[in-house]
Amino acid sequence: MESTDDILSSLIVELKRGTLILSVLSQLFSPEYGYSLVQKLEEKNNPIDAGTLYPLLRRLEKQHLLVSNWDTSEARPRKFYVISEEGKRVFQCLKEEWRTLSDKLENLLEEERNHGDN
Amino acid sequence: MEIIDRYIYAVTQSLPENIREDVSEELRSNIQDMLPEDASEEHIKKVLEELGNPAKLAVEYNPEKRYLIGPGLYNRYITLLKLITGIAALAMGGVALLTWLLEPGNGESLTNLIKDVISAVLDGAMQGAFWVTLIFIILERSGVQEGHSPFAKKKWTVEELPDIKDYGKKKISRASTIVEILFTIIVTVVLVFRPSIIGVSLNGSPFVPMLNADRLNTYIIGIVLLGLICLGILVWKTIYPYWSIPLAAANAGCNIAICILMLFMVRDRQMVNSEFLTILEGLTNMTLSQVTLLWQKFLWLFAAGFIVIAICDSMAGVFKCKR
């Protein structure tokens, strides 16, 4: 039997999955490398697993939403990612979509609350 | 540091070669960024544990499909796997039994027969499972369930929904498909593995094969290929059991290919076992060359009949998809 906690945490993972891409794209208008992005998101209270983020960056690059570049000028070479023109367009559309979605969902949740109050 | 190398190796070894190096460099630089200066063994372990199971990470990194047959085809795959494995086992077992009945001396004892039949049944099941799986892997990778057929990779539309009430004449009966599968497997198996059981025993003469097995070998690739194509079309018929233009086209194409191969074989005089002709000569008052000529005429007649049937079958498919 799965415990309630397990079910809850897997549901939370599912809930977050769709928003990950939105948060990652929003932070890449200036170039970042993997770990700097982890930190940046953490500082902004949007922590993301390093193990989830690194492959995600590569996938987004493969879909041409990000562009990458190895910076070898410093002692430690790092791969920087930045949003592409296509990525910017996709990001705007996703943002719109997210806003309508959360508005609609808010309505549903509000409805439930009123119901509970009665 | 050695533990980092081992971790990166564990992640990248299952990745496609072309991205392996890039992923490992990127991962290494990311891991080093996560570590403080002069990191202790403990630090490294903590960071690697944060990244999690390398196998899981590799799945995230891998752009390729990680499964042979996806959920879209899985149910149909299982259904067909059972069906065709069963049919192939039966067919091969039947052929083994027939071989034993027609070729005495091959395995006189009953134990031999049982051994032969069991190994043929197992072989048939394995062959069936292998080829069905192969066909489905190809279907999966060519994206059949995204488009509707392997030939038209267009977006799915409502029009493609089969009409449940009015399948009418377009519907292909499952029974006829099963019979066709059985027939295809038996013919292919006999031609490829046991051509010697096609033969006759005339007026008490010893059993003589009609075909020259050595000569038949030169056509083996064509026979196997066509057998597989036929099987592929039959699998398709089982998945979408109603006539459509691409199916009718494939059916007609396959029929044409079979007819062409058969014409080549009929034309080839060396295909006939000379011993068989000698026996015919002995039974009639004709000379060997007359018998040979007569036999050739008979073969052409057979071929003509075969072609007529193939044409009818191809036309039937085309007409049925119009209704």
pLDDT in tens, B39-81: 788 888 888 888 888 888 888 888 666 678 887 788 888 988 9
Q: What is the pLDDT of residue B238?
A: 82
Q: What is the mean pLDDT of residues B181-199?
A: 85
Strand order in the sheet with A78-83: A32-33, A78-83, A66-71
How, if at all, do strands B199-200 and B208-209 pair? antiparallel
Predicted complex ipTM exceeds 0.90: no
Nearest one of A3, A12, A6 to A49, comparing CA atoms: A12
pLDDT tens for B125-173 read 998 899 889 888 887 877 655 544 444 445 555 665 555 555 566 778 8
Q: From the list A50, A51, A77, which residue is nearest B29 (CB)?
A: A77
Mean pLDDT of chain B: 82
Residue B204 has pLDDT above 50, yes or no: yes
Between CA A24 and CA A57 the distance in angstroms is: 8
Q: What is the mean pLDDT of residues B108-119?
A: 82
Q: What is the pLDDT of residue A61?
A: 92
Beta-bridge partners for B242: B171
Interchain CB contact of B16 with A (< 8 Å): no
How, if at all, do strands A78-83 and B199-200 pair? unpaired
Between CA B195 and CA A49 the distance in angstroms is: 63
Beta-bridge partners for A67: A82
Q: What's at B125, amino acid-wise? A: A
Read off φ and ψ for residue B153, nearest 5 degrees.
Answer: -90, 55
Q: What is the mean pLDDT of residues B33-37?
A: 84
Taking an 8 Å Cβ-Cβ cutoff, which residues of chain A contact chain B?
33-36, 38, 49-52, 54-56, 58-59, 62, 76-79
Percent of chain B with pLDDT over 70: 86
Q: What is the mean pLDDT of residues A59-71?
A: 91
Instruction: Determine which of A17, A24, A33, A35 to mutate to test the interface with B (most B C-beta atoms within 10 Å).
Output: A35
Q: What is the pLDDT of residue B145?
A: 54
Residue of B nearest to A55 (CA): B61
Q: What is the pLDDT of residue B22?
A: 87
What residues of A are in contact with residue B4 (Cβ under 8 Å)?
Answer: none
Percent of chain B with pLDDT over 90: 15
Q: Contact, A50 vs B33, CB < 8 A?
A: no
pLDDT bucket at B105, cuts 50 / 70 / 90: low
Interchain CB contact of B60 with A (< 8 Å): yes
What residues of A are in contact with residue B60 (Cβ under 8 Å)?
Answer: 51-52, 55-56
Shortest distance between the Cα of B47 and any Cα of chain A, in A, equals 9
Q: What is the mean pLDDT of residues B246-256?
A: 92
Interchain CB contact of B313 with A (< 8 Å): no
**B237 vs A29, more confident:** A29
Q: From the list A52, A59, A76, which residue is nearest B32 (CB)?
A: A76
Expressed in percent and rounded to 5, the helix, strand and coil fractions of chain B are 75, 0, 25
Residue B304 has pLDDT above 90, yes or no: yes
Q: What is the pLDDT of residue B19?
A: 84
Expressed in percent and rounded to 5, the helix, strand and coil fractions of chain A are 65, 10, 20
CA distances from B123 to A30, A32, B206 (A): 62, 58, 30
Interchain CB contact of B36 with A (< 8 Å): no
Residue of B nearest to A80 (CA): B26
Q: What is the value of pTM for the model shown?
A: 0.54
Which segment of A98-112, B219-233, B280-294 scores lowest on mean pLDDT?
B280-294
Shortest distance between the Cα of B57 and any Cα of chain A, in A, equals 6
Residue of A nearest to B56 (CA): A51
